[in-house]
Every structure is written in structure tokens, then in C-alpha cells.
Amino acid sequence: MGKHKHVRPSESPKEGQGAPEARHSSIPAEAEHIRRTGRKSRTGSIRLPRLKLREFISLMGKLGYEVVDKRRHFKLAAEGRPPITVPNDREVAVGNLRDIITKHLGWTKEEFVRFYEENK
């Protein structure tokens, strides 16, 4: 007896139903794509994309921002716009991105996602 995993009676498939579906712990490729893009969440609100720091700096460069200070935080500046400061991490945290979009740029999440899709 030792090679087969014990199946509880409640988990065994009933006659004619076939085997139970396997669950995967990894995120499928399609779900990962949806996570990285700004698609809608289950609640219907727009999800912000997860941006690598380099992607974010590149996007801000298209709006006229330049990196003016690079230490533990990156400071981006553009003429006539408030400066943006982001931590020197691999990704820009979604909360930080949301604050930058709404407070610094004055955009909605939908406007930013549209800009991101057009410029990635």
C-alpha cells in the first residue's frame, strides 16, 4: 500500500462524473497578462498595471519628466509639473502609482491605462 494517495470518500468522483479537476498553484499565463495590463477586476473597477521602475520612468519620460536625482528614491521633474518621487525598487507599488496618477498627473485610472496601452 504506500504508493497511492488516500482519497477521502467525499472527494472521489461519482459514477459518470469523471475525475475531479486538478488545481494549479501557479498563475496561468492569461491571468498573469491580465494582472500586468489594466484590465477590469471582479468588482468592475479598473486595475492598474504592475510597472517595473524602468517602464514607469520611460512612461514619465514621454510626458516630459526626467530623472534629476537617483539615490534610494528616484526624483523625476518636468517643467510646469510637480516633481514625482518613487522608491528605487523593482516595481512601482500600485498605491504609489495610483497617488501619482491622481495627485501629480490629475488623471483617472482609466486615462492612465489608456496612455499605458498606447505607449508600452
Q: State the amino acid at position 35 in one-letter form.
A: R
Beta-carbon-side half-sphere exposure of residue 69 (alpha carbons within 13 Å): 10
d(CA 81, CA 100): 12
Q: What is the per-residue pLDDT for 46?
A: 83
**Is pLDDT of 73 > 90?**
yes
Q: What is the per-residue pLDDT for 120?
A: 83
Q: What is the per-residue pLDDT for 25?
A: 47
The dihedral built from the CA positions of residue 75, 52, 57 and 36, taken in this order, carries a sign that is: negative
Stated pTM of the model = 0.63
What would the pLDDT profile of 4-48 be if each residue is shown by its tens digit?
555 555 555 555 555 555 555 455 555 555 555 555 556 667 889
**What domains sit in the chain, N to C, each tagged with a CATH number?**
51-119 (3.30.920.30)
Mean pLDDT across the chain: 80
